A = this chain, B = another copy of it.
């Protein structure tokens, strides 16, 4: 058994191995999962969670890396969660150089973790929020959650961030693709990356039009900004950070941040509860309680609805 309090203390000191170990414990439905989650609870709620999503090829990893650099310059501790089945991020903290993330691999103020969809009980909707809790409790000031944004679950994860960044690139018919994937509605900040290429202005205009940004809004409503970047050269990245900080300040002022976090917590509880109930019912195959109920139904002394009520009641008595 793992000494959870010691592990949590080490993680808070910034030891990457302790963080890695904790994430593995919460990812893998370990018997100590509950102990870990209970230990983390009082330490969470400080990190600012930013979701980054967009189609492959828009430069997500490069943008994430550039944002890490910007936050590091500001002295922040940064966590990166790369949620992508096809991600170049591997297991712990090592990265392919093609994503320019290697510069952060030896930085103790940065923790990078990849997350694949395979094999996780309940999928990423279940495990990503847990990993965010670990990074939060470990003292990260900012957590960047990078998702592919093509599948339903990726969009769901991105939409659970405090602030969602939607990335596009010019000349990819990307606006329409993004609209199809359902990621256009979730952006709090839009980034047109590779802005040195032809068509960047056209993409920004198209986006502006699709989002109805030219239309009147109620005073005090958030108007998502569109920021142009060349992430590979770091251009425009400070403007992205500025837009994020503005959105955060706007959310704090209006109570939106607390509201989003409550909604995220509620979804997390629901996901855990549904998974747990399904498992409990699954476990009942061949169980005496279910057999006994079935026996009474076939004898005509109980109807299936009353039996289902009894079953549900017995599930909670466990």
* Contacting residues of chain A (290-318) with chain B, CB-CB under 8 angstroms: 290-291, 293-295, 297-308, 311-313, 315-316
- The minimal Cβ–Cβ distance linking A129 to chain B, given in whole angstroms, is 7
Segment among A110-118, A145-153, A190-198, A259-267 that sits at the interface with chain B: A259-267
Asked if A179 is at the interface (CB within 8 A of a chain B CB), the reply is: no
Question: Judging by beta carbons under 8 Å apart, are A304 and B269 in contact?
Answer: yes
Q: Are B273 and A311 in contact (CB under 8 A)?
A: yes
B269–A307 CB distance below 8 A: yes
Give per-residue flags for A269-305: 1 if the beta carbon is below 8 A from chain B beta carbons, else 0.
Answer: 1101110111001001000001101110111111111
* A220 on the B face (CB < 8 A): no
Question: Please, which residues of chain B bring their CB within 8 A of the CB of A37?
Answer: 303-306
Is residue A171 contacting chain B, with contact meaning CB distance below 8 A? no
**Majority SS at the chain A contact face:** helix
- By the criterion CB–CB under 8 Å, are A308 and B272 in contact? yes
Residues of B near A34 (CB, < 8 A) are 303, 305-306
- Judging by beta carbons under 8 Å apart, are B290 and A266 in contact? yes
Check A269 against B297 for contact (C-beta < 8 Å): yes
Q: What is the number of residues of chain A that contact chain B, defined by CB distance less than 8 Å?
A: 52
Q: Is A99 an interface residue (CB 8 A)?
A: no
> In the bound complex, how far is the Cα of B38 from the Cα of A284, in angstroms?
24
Complex contact A305–B272 (CB within 8 A): yes
Interface residues in A26-82 by Cβ distance below 8 A to B read 33-34, 37-38, 40-45
Distance in angstroms from A165 CB to nearest chain B CB is: 22
With A311-B273, A312-B276, A312-B315 as contacts: A265 and B304 at CB distance below 8 Å: yes
Given A298-B45, A305-B37, A316-B315, verify A281-B290 contact (CB < 8 Å).
no
Chain B residue nearest to A310 (CB atoms) is: B269
Known A-B contacts A258-B298, A261-B298, A293-B265; A306 and B270 likewise in contact (beta carbons under 8 Å): no
| Bound-complex Cα distance A33 to B157 (A) | 38
Complex interface: chain B residues within 8 A of A206 (CB): none
Number of copies: 2
Q: Are A294 and B266 in contact (CB under 8 A)?
A: yes
Across-interface contacts of A306 in B (CB, < 8 A): 34, 37-38
Which chain B residue lies CB-closest to A268? Answer: B304
> Given the complex, which residues of B lie within 8 Å of A281, measured CB to CB?
270, 273-274
Q: Is the CB of A299 within 8 A of B45?
A: yes
Q: Which residue of B lies closest to A297 (CB)?
A: B265
Other 17 A-B pairs with CB < 8 A, given A270-B290, A274-B277: A38-B305, A41-B300, A41-B302, A262-B297, A263-B294, A265-B294, A265-B297, A266-B290, A269-B308, A272-B308, A273-B308, A273-B311, A274-B281, A276-B308, A277-B312, A312-B315, A313-B316
Q: Enumerate the 9 nearest inter-chain pairs by beta-carbon distance, A residue then B residue, closest first.
A: A265-B297, A272-B308, A265-B294, A41-B303, A266-B294, A37-B303, A273-B308, A262-B294, A316-B316
- 22 inter-chain pairs at a CB distance below 8 angstroms, sorted by A residue, are A33-B305, A34-B306, A37-B305, A41-B300, A42-B300, A42-B301, A44-B300, A45-B300, A262-B294, A265-B294, A266-B291, A268-B304, A269-B293, A269-B294, A269-B297, A269-B304, A269-B307, A270-B311, A274-B277, A277-B277, A312-B315, A315-B316
